[in-house]
Structure 1
Amino acid sequence: MPYLELGCRALLTTVLAVALAGKIRPAAFTAFAASLAPIRGIPAPARRPLASAIVLAEATAVVLLWTPGTVRAGYLLGALLLTVFTATLAVSRWQGAAVRCRCFGYDAGPVRSSHIIRNLGLVAVAVTGLVSASPAATAEPLLPVAAGALAGLLVTRWDDMAFALSK
């Protein structure tokens, strides 16, 4: 189980770190905050503070995932974030809102079913990591961490892969 858990941790960390890195530049952050406008229930004055909270939560999850004694909390926070993102995207899409995916800092176009599927997969990774995390487990980390990080990078290029496979 330690290999599975380390792979999940590396994948989730990579996805959250790329998302964080893509949003912290001032122009990208402003665009991310503005992308919240079509989501019902988020008033204009709350967009920037909410965007800041999301960025802070992503950073916190990354730190928790690699701090001894807080790994489970990192998985819980990651799963919670991804669940809220997924539900928000699904409801917004169902309501016909023109929400654009700025998950990784760039404009990946309108939210599609593939974004929701991607996020559900990431929730499953977070839950799998949570249930397989053991404080006493040790393992040679190189292979599962590298595999998880590679999988995480592929997830961050989800739209590119979906486009390439659709042709």
Structure 2
Amino acid sequence: MNYVDIGCRALLTVVFAAAATGKVRHGGFAAFVASLAPIRWIGASARRPAALATVAAEALTVLLLWTPGTAPAGYLLAVGTLAAFTATLVTGLRQGTTLRCRCFGHDAGPVRPHHVARNLGLGAVAVLGLATTATTTMATDPAGWAIALLTGAVAGLATTRWDDIAFVLSPPTR
């Protein structure tokens, strides 16, 4: 494990753990299931299983990223999950369907192109992490570990607040 790998794992762990827990706490799961209704390719009877699969994939990603020897599988699961999310968002945006972002449990409003950008960025982090697992450089300095973990965790936390950041950085509306 090298420092880039550690940072990528930390970032993805914060994001996927926040996503999974946000969807299942305080009645959020029922709201998440309901938010899948506008997605045309998910029928009414498949919404709950799709929601369960989503939460399971997010939780399993976190587990695989930190279980010895399974980080590549965790990165691949992250890439696949993010690709499915992104394809769904892009399809919804192109069809003019109003999808609600319940990515972290709460209703963050309608899906916008910045959600697609967020997912593409997370996918790039997962691909980078996967690529770094092939290196033989071993991270041994405790201070380096701490910096990599902290940097990844802070970036992950910022990602979970993506909608707030996009709002603050967006031009004012009249």
Q: Which TM-score applies when normalising by structure 1?
A: 0.96
SS for the counterpart of 2:27 is: helix
Match for residue 113 of structure 1?
113
Q: Equivalent residues in 2 for 1:32-71 (5 A)?
A: 32-71=32-71
Runs of 4+ in 1 over 2 A off after TM superposition: 134-138
Match for residue 103 of structure 1?
103
Deviations along 1:124-166, one digit per CA (max 9) or x if unpaired, are: 0000000111475431321101100000000000000111112
1:84 paired to 2:105: no
1:152 paired to 2:163: no
Match for residue 24 of structure 1?
24
User: What CA distance in whole angstroms lies between the structure 2 residues aligned with 1:64 and 1:136?
Assistant: 20
Deviations along 1:93-136, one digit per CA (max 9) or x if unpaired, are: 10111100000001010000000000000000000000111475
User: What CA distance in whole angstroms lies between the structure 2 residues aligned with 1:162 and 1:125?
Assistant: 19
User: What CA distance in whole angstroms lies between the structure 2 residues aligned with 1:134 and 1:10?
Assistant: 18
Match for residue 128 of structure 2?
128
1:3 paired to 2:3: yes
| Contact kept? 1:8, 1:129, Cα under 8 Å | yes
Amino acid at match of 2:101: C
Unmatched 5+ stretches in structure 2: none
User: What CA distance in whole angstroms lies between the structure 1 residues aligned with 2:166 and 2:64?
Assistant: 31
What is the count of residue pairs matched by the alignment?
167
Larger Rg: 2
Amino acid at match of 2:117: I
